[in-house]
Amino acid sequence: MTRATALVLSCLAWAALAAPVHAETIRVAGTGGALEAMRLAGEAFQKTHPETNLAIVPGLGSRGGIKALQAGAADVAVSAPPAPAAEPGLISVELGRTPMIFTTGSPRPGTGVTMADLVEIYSGRKTAWPDGSRLRVILRPNGDSDTAFLRALSPAMNRAIDDGFKVPGVKIAATDQDAANAIGSIPGAFGTSTLLQVRGEARTLAPLPVGGVAPRLAALANGSYPYVKTLYLVTRGQSTVAVRQFMGFLASPAGRELLSGLGLQVSPGLMAAPQATR
């Protein structure tokens, strides 16, 4: 049995034990930075659907969430990439977009970064803040969606990431929560997160402007802040009524307002999960 399979099976057992017998439970897995927002949305949804609970299956990430969905250990996966086209019976719908942020653990008035700065930071060549204090970059694993995002920014950034992984003692955070915890607790730390995670989890991180533009939804909407993470809801082809109702809530004015307040620009095309063909 592979480690990934064992993890999915343990999550299935956990979800079964956690689910109240008197209510239907929607199990949501996937990218960690979106799960608290989904939990808050589930609380709001339950006010009008008290017969339905929403349970978060933590620690799987985008790929693990999709595997859990396939194994029957989850009903909805929130994923940074959509489900691979080769995966049979799965449907991806765009949930929305949130600003990718470059952040520190405490405010640094007057400090921002440029793309040239980011290349120097991630390569390990820039190791101090403007005030002379130590700068400690927090990396994510190779293959993680945040690392893929950074690599895609430019050929120079792609090379910088390769160099950054070679820096002795560099901190690599396995999950979105690990990264946010490290950025918030290690003096001088710097790394990536999303506006959705910071607001959803009520983090006291301090996002930095990039090229003089702060990472806000308004800047995302007008195109002045181009650094974005697109999130997808992935479901099985034949979703339950409860899953379709929950997705309908996310697409409703109330759901959109809630998610927008948490830093997500909800997709105009979001609607209840379709009964799609395989």
CATH number of residue 106's parent domain:
3.40.190.10
Whether 275 maps to a domain, the answer reads no
| 12-28 average pLDDT score | 61
Structure tokens at 149: 């995002």
Residue 172 CB contacts under 8 Å (≥ 6 apart), including other chains: 138, 139, 140, 141, 165
Q: Quick one: which H or E segment has residue 70?
A: helix 61-71
Whether 176 maps to a domain, the answer reads yes
Least confident span in 17-21, 134-138, 265-269: 17-21
Whether 273 maps to a domain, the answer reads no
Residues 215, 241 share a domain: no
Whether 277 maps to a domain, the answer reads no
Q: Which residue has the higher pLDDT, 55 or 272?
A: 55
Instruction: For residues 36 and 203, give the distance between their C-alpha atoms in angstroms, rounded to a whole number.
Output: 11
Percentage of residues in the chain having pLDDT higher than 90 = 65
Q: Which domain holds residue 39?
A: 3-97+229-266
Which bin fits 18, alpha (ψ -120 to 50), beta or left (φ > 0)?
alpha
pLDDT of residue 86: 61
**Number of compact structural domains in the chain:** 2
Calculate Rg over the CA atoms of the chain. Answer: 19
Residues 210, 139 share a domain: yes
8-state DSSP, 252: S
Residues 195, 129 share a domain: yes
CA-nearest of 204, 136, 199, 213 to 173 is 136
Which bin fits 68, alpha (ψ -120 to 50), beta or left (φ > 0)?
alpha
Residues 115, 151 share a domain: yes
